[in-house]
Amino acid sequence: MTPALRRALLAWYDAERRALPWRGTRDPYRILLSEVLLQQTRVEQALPYYRRFLERFPTLEALAAADEEAVLAAWQGAGYYARARNLLRLAREVARAGWPRDRAGLLQLPGVGPYTAAAVASIAFGEPVAAVDGNVRRVLARVHAEPEPGAAWLGRAAADWLEPARPGDWNQALMELGARVCTPRNPDCAACPLAGICRGRAAPERYPAPRKRRARTEERWALVLQAPGGVVLEHRSTGQLAGLWGVPMGPGAAPPAVALARYRARAVEPAGTVRHAFSHRRLVVHVFRGRAPEGGVAPGARPLAELDRKLLRAAGLEGAAEGEA
């Protein structure tokens, strides 16, 4: 990477970058929040959650003082709730001990991996370290015509390219290039400031080669029971949705007699099927609706996962799904 090409990419970024709310700040809390949200969420989807979360917890200290249920409620709808739980643990640790100011220190914080640590270190603290996300991986693979860029190769290539004078802007420039120009399909090579050195330009679809992933499908049943106090909900203490509330659920195509007896379920009938995808897992959930003689919770008073909102809607409780029950 020549100095002229570095200047060209940074000039393109300065002129074309999107006006995102986490750009133009050196606040590590706001930068970290954006990076955590963007781990599993597209920018357009992340924006409203970013703003809503900051309205509720404008500083790291405010987040550190919150209880988990309030944090999960603010995160509601963003998915992958382990991110929110780790963010709360991180806030409490940093509020007590202060921010680590380099990649190595950031890597010791809860939920922070190599990419996030490098992104925060370079953007917030100016450390000259390369951050490699999926967009950067694609740009590097295409420019070098590397079909299978492994972690070690990516680390070396990204470090060789890094502009140490503006490491945060450099990392964001490569990410922006991958997100807006060097896209997975139909890249706009004519607009790319790196087109002159791109060895993969003639066949960009070959670089990098598609990853082969198999998502397993699991069958579940769910009981949506209306009760005097609202809907029967349970607090989930383990698994991907730990910390959230949800309707009773279990493996199989229908709730067993022991589950119906436990909730004293009455007038139970099928209410349809809901399909929901996690990263490497697909759920097919058979929804049953009915009534329970006591208990119940207003869903709006508890943080619910999007899966449970789908289940409530499938059972005909659209208002409850939106927190109006």
Q: CA 224, CA 205: separation in Å to the nearest integer?
A: 46
Q: How many CB atoms lie within 10 A of CB 194?
A: 21
- Give CA angle at 44 (304, 12), nearest 5°: 150
CB-based contact 127:121 (threshold 8 Å): yes
Inter-residue contact 319 to 325 (CB < 8 Å)? yes
Q: How many angstroms separate the CA atoms of 325 and 315, rounded? A: 13
The torsion angles phi and psi of 275, rounded to 5 degrees, stand at -110, 135
CA distance 286 to 314: 10
> For the chain, what is the total number of helices (H) and then of strands (E)?
14, 7
Name the helix (H) or strand (E) containing 290. strand 281-291
With CA atoms as reference, report the closest residue to 116 among 36, 58, 2, 43. Answer: 36
Catalytic residue among 35, 127, 163, 176: 35
- Greatest extent of the chain over all pairs of C-alpha atoms, in Å: 74
DSSP state of 273: E
Structure tokens at 74: 């603010």
Residue 35 falls in the annotated catalytic set: yes
Tokens describing residue 227: 């009760």
Q: Which residues are catalytic?
A: 35
